[in-house]
Amino acid sequence: MPISIRARAPLRISFAGGGTDVPPFPEREGGLVLNATIDRYAYGLLRPRRDRRIRIESADFGVSLDYSVDESPMFDGKLDLVKAAIRKLGDRSSPGYDLFLHSNAPPGSGLGSSSTVMVTLVGLLKEHHGLALTEYEIAQLSHTIERTDLGLLGGMQDQYAATFGGFNFIEFGADRVIVNPLRVNEDVINELEHNMLLCYTGATRRSDGIIEDQTARLEQGETETLEGLRMQKELAVEMKNALLRRQLNQFGDLLDHAWREKKRMSPKIATGFIDEAYAEARKNGALGGKVTGAGGGGYMLFYCAFQKKHRVAEALVRMGGKVTEFAFEQKGLTTWSMDDA
């Protein structure tokens, strides 16, 4: 009876520091990001085959591929992330397998879904090929495949958040990353879940255009972009301290400050709808909020006084947003095996 390998990794929300993990800023000044993983996941399944075929199916894109272990697949925009991971970690002497991948969030959601799928995939291939990889090595390998091998623009926080899980304060330098897990009080976590909500704006963003613009502005020495990034680092520290000291109203206010500073990094980060939705949420009782990824669409995160949370949700729904609650996930990448009955 064949043994299948399962894996899942959590998606993340970023509170402050996003953008400081995107080159060349961390190499020049060092990046700081405060984020946490939530109960939305990328899932994967690997089922060994008796022949030498590899079959990949993506539920998110509605795409499937089938090719031989001996082939070098073309990078043609169809599941290139998966192909690149198999090329990096594959063993052409071994039999083939079926891969199935699915995520709780749409691509371009701003919750780090593509990088989380990559971490899930690396976890599956690690187990299948019996590779001894640490959490840091899994995250770094996932990052290398995306950013170096495929040349996809973006930062580093998503791969580390998905691999480690929980609340993390992550430091990014020129040649190293340090993940500092935070021991956030359980009452604080409960209160955050009580008072926060996510709103899907209905627009799937292309983060690379925003990141290209932000990077170009940084390279040109634009003061607004540079100051916005530096303030993101300061706010990541302040928000970490507010969490650990149980100062959640201050945390909500800092979330608002972080959003205002984030918008300085590129004019493409906010859209008309995002600005209108944010203003409406604030008018109805949100202390603060921000987009959860590079910007331009995807999910927005809000912190509200609980007794006003329903008013914020109703206002966002009236505008066409899709509102959802969530819980935090303390575990990162998880793999396990199961007999296929």
One CATH from 3.30.460.80, 3.30.230.10, 1.10.287.110, 3.30.750.24 for 3-183: 3.30.230.10
Give pLDDT, residue 90. 85
For the chain, residues classed under CATH 3.30.230.10 are 3-183
Cα-Cα-Cα-Cα torsion 309, 14, 292, 288, nearest 10 degrees, comes to 40
Give pLDDT, residue 204. 59
CA distance 291 to 274: 8
Residue type, 253: D
For the chain, residues classed under CATH 3.30.70.890 are 186-324
Evaluate if residue 260 carries a pLDDT over 80: yes
**193-to-87, 258, 317 alpha-carbon distances in Å:** 40, 20, 19
Give me the mean pLDDT over the 24-34 stretch: 96
SS3 291: strand
Has 158 been annotated as catalytic?
Answer: yes
Give pLDDT, residue 1. 53
Question: Where residue 210 falls among pLDDT bands split at 50, 70, 90?
Answer: confident
Evaluate if residue 221 carries a pLDDT over 80: yes
Give pLDDT, residue 25. 93
158, 253, 256, 275: the active-site residue: 158
Going by C-alpha positions, the residue among 140, 95, 103 that lies closest to residue 122 is 140
Give pLDDT, residue 156. 95
Give pLDDT, residue 255. 96
Give me the mean pLDDT over the 1-6 stretch: 84
Q: What class, spelled out in words, does domain 186-324 have in CATH?
A: alpha beta
Give pLDDT, residue 71. 87
Question: Where residue 89 falls among pLDDT bands split at 50, 70, 90?
Answer: very high
Evaluate if residue 157 carries a pLDDT over 90: yes
Give me the mean pLDDT over the 199-225 stretch: 80
Give me the mean pLDDT over the 231-249 stretch: 97
